[in-house]
Every structure is written in C-alpha cells, then in structure tokens.
Amino acid sequence: MTTRIESTATTLSWIPSEAVTGLTKAAFETGFTHYDPPPPDVVDDLEGLRADDRFRYANVLTGWADVEDGRIVRAGYGDAEGVLMGSTTVRIGRLGATFAAIALPVLRRDPEFRADGSVVLTQTCGGRTALPAPRAVPHPPFVKLQAPLVWTTLTLTIHPDGRAEPGLAGASPFPRHWVYDAAGALALKSGLTDYSAWSAHSFGTRTPWGEEDSPALTVEVESAAERVLSRLLMTGAQKPRIRTLAESELLTLQGEPGDELYLLLDGVLRVQVDGQRLADVGPGAVLGERALLEGGRRTSTLTAVTPVRVAVAQASAIDRERLAELAASHRREDVPA
C-alpha cells in the first residue's frame, strides 16, 4: 500500500529598520522608499501580503513523497510556481510609483533520499531587486548603479511518519528571511543581515545562478511575550538607543550590576552561565529582564557570535508585570542547550 504525503515550506524576505547601511540608507530615511513591518507570525494569505507590499519576495516549496513499508520510495516537487516576487514603491513628495522585481529561474535539486527513510527537497528562488542600488567599484566613476540578486535556498525534509520540517540551507546576506512551516506558522529566522556584503558581492558567479550560495545562519523563533515587548520597546515614548557589538564582544557579564533591557535587532548572541553555553539567540530576542527583577545583577553572560545591533532600553520603559511574564516564558539560564 502506498501513502502519499504532501507538504509545503515558505520563506518571506523583508527589509527591517536599521538593516540598511551606506549610501542607500538615505533613500529609506527620507521616505523615497521604505522599510517593511515584520511579517505576521502565521501566513494564511500570501497573495494578500504581496498586494499590500509586505515582503520583497517569497520562496514557496511544495513537495510530495510516497511511502511504502515505512520508507519513502518516490518524491518530487509540486506544481506551484516557486517564487513570488514583490514590488518596491518609491515616493517623491506626493507622487509614488511601484516597480516590480524580476524573478530568476527556480533551481531545484534532485530529491535526496536519506538512510533514515526521509527525503530532502531543496529549492532556490529569488531574482533581481526592483531598483538598482549604488555600490563602490575600484575604478572611475567609483560608484555603480546595479541591482544585486536576492535569494533563499529552502529545504523541506519529509519523514515516512508524515512529519515535515522546513530549513534554510542558504540565502543572500540581505534582506532578512523568515521561514514558515506547512501550517503557515513561523518556524525559523535568519540571524544576520549584512547589507554591505550583499551590495558588494551578490552578483554573477557569487550567486546560486553562478557558482556559489551563501550559507544561512538560522535561529529559533522568539516567544510571543518577546514579540509583544519588542513592539512596545520600539514604539513607546522612551525610545531605546542603538548599540553595535563586534564579533566576540561582551554585552553583559554574569554577576555584574545591570539595569537595562535589551532587544536584539540583528545578529546572534550566545547565552552562557558559569562558562556553559545555554543558547544562541537571534533577532527579536529580549534579554536582561532577570537582572531587573532579581536583584540587579546579570544572571548570564551574553557574547556576540556575529556582529550585533541591539536596542538598549531603561527598565522604566516596560512595566514589571510584563517583565515577569517574559522571565517566566524563557528561563534560558535554567535550560542547557
């Protein structure tokens, strides 16, 4: 008897605030073009999000697998188009115009059948951005207008028991990429955006349509309490200051006094207690609340695994009830990695 399993994985790619650097930042800050609000936690209307200009592009991987005697014997890709390119709206005064991005051919690897009976489907989607971006070149005129490529390499692992797991095997260094499972729920996030590297190198052979892919650094999704707090911190009356850390730099040291709350905007921080690694956290994580609630001393050491941008808020920016809710939802210091 043959049983067919069908599943889907999706990435949405979007431009968060504070992610753009260099010459192009002025275009965002002056309103010529725009950052994107975070996508929803659950995607149930992808076309609606595209119509509302909520993402720059989407990679939709649909796949199937036939199971016989507890093993997957055949697998393949569905008939979905694969890539949904968004658009970019630019404004000068009261005038606005919308430009569509250009999709490149979808790249699909042959199904990879594994020893445990599962199969992995891998699909790369992306294209050329709607507007060219300025980048430095080592010859006159020293600045060139050219649209870099954006992409995600999405995986879907299907197991004989019906489970399906999305993954992000590769991605352009910019923009930010969120990964959704078959139910449309947010499952993973890319941990780091690097606008400078993307604008300088994501052309020609340095892309999946040439000879290279860029490995993606992924992190787990933050808690619902953190998502609520992050919105309050960034939109409240007391605006946080933005701090940057280099790789290996300390944000907090266990045992030291601390009276600030942190929202990780970009990059990955390592949580350590007594020298033991407990977790690596990524964008959206809110940290430092236990020191504010439990005596004013840091309960863990936070170290930058990558370059990091973090919003720093005073304790008075958030009421203690919300801090207590957050502390109860993710006691990272109590659960070893």
The CATH number of residue 276's host domain is 2.60.120.10
> For all residues of the chain together, what is the average pLDDT?
84
- Predicted pLDDT at 189: 93
Instruction: Please state the rounded mean pLDDT for residues 239-268.
Output: 93
Task: Give me the number of domains the chain comprises.
Answer: 2
Distance CA(245)–CA(304), nearest Å, equals 7
Q: Is residue 126 within 8 Å of 149, Cβ to Cβ?
A: yes
- Asked if residue 180 and residue 283 are part of one domain, the reply reads no
Characterize the bridge pairing of strands 241-245 and 250-252: unpaired
User: Mapped to the 3 state alphabet, what secondary structure does the chain carry?
Assistant: CCEEEEEEEEEEEECCCCCCCHHHHHHHHCCCCCCCCCCCCECCCHHHHHHCCCCCEEEEEEEEEEEECCEEEEEEECCCCCEEECEEEEEECCEEEEEECEECCCEECCCEECCCCCEEEEEEEEEECCCCEEEECCCCCCEEEECCEEEEEEEEEECCCCCEEEEEEEECCCCEEEEECCCCEEEEEECCCCHHHHHHHCCHHHCCCCCCCCECCEEECCCHHHHHHHHHHHHCCCCCEEEEECCCCEEECCCCECCEEEEEEECCEEEEECCEEEEEECCCCEECHHHHHCCCECCCEEEECCCEEEEEEEHHHCCHHHHHHHHHHCCHHHCCC
202/291 same-domain check = no
Q: What is the pLDDT of residue 233?
A: 81
Inter-residue contact 128 to 102 (CB < 8 Å): yes
Q: Please give the Cα distance from 272 to 127 (Å, whole number).
A: 39
pLDDT in tens, 89-140: 655 555 555 556 788 999 999 999 999 999 999 999 998 876 656 556 566 7
How many angstroms separate the CA atoms of 159 and 165, rounded?
9
pLDDT in tens, 146-156: 678 899 999 99
Segment 40-73, tens digit of pLDDT: 999 999 999 988 888 889 999 999 999 998 889 9
Do 108 and 254 sit in the same domain of this protein? no
Q: Are residues 119 and 249 in the same domain?
A: no
Among 10-14, 138-142, 229-233, 289-293, where is mean pLDDT lowest? 138-142
pLDDT of residue 146: 63
Same domain, 322 and 194: no
Query: Higher confidence at residue 232 or residue 113?
Result: 113
Domain that holds residue 319: 224-334
Shared-domain flag, residues 239 and 91: no
Query: How far apart, in whole angstroms, are the C-alpha atoms of residue 125 and residue 104?
Result: 7
Which residue, 218, 250, 268, sits at the end of a domain?
218
- pLDDT (0 to 100) of residue 144: 60
Q: What is the pLDDT of residue 27?
A: 46
Q: Which carries the bigger pLDDT value, residue 298 or residue 24?
A: 298
Judgement on whether residues 173 and 297 belong to the same structural domain of the protein = no
Picking from 187, 218, 249, the residue at the C-terminal end of a domain is 218
Do 133 and 27 reside in the same domain of the chain?
yes
**What share of the chain in percent tops pLDDT 90?**
47
pTM for the predicted model, two decimal places: 0.82
Q: Are residues 101 and 183 in the same domain?
A: yes
Q: Which of 218, 250, 280 represents a domain boundary (last residue)? A: 218
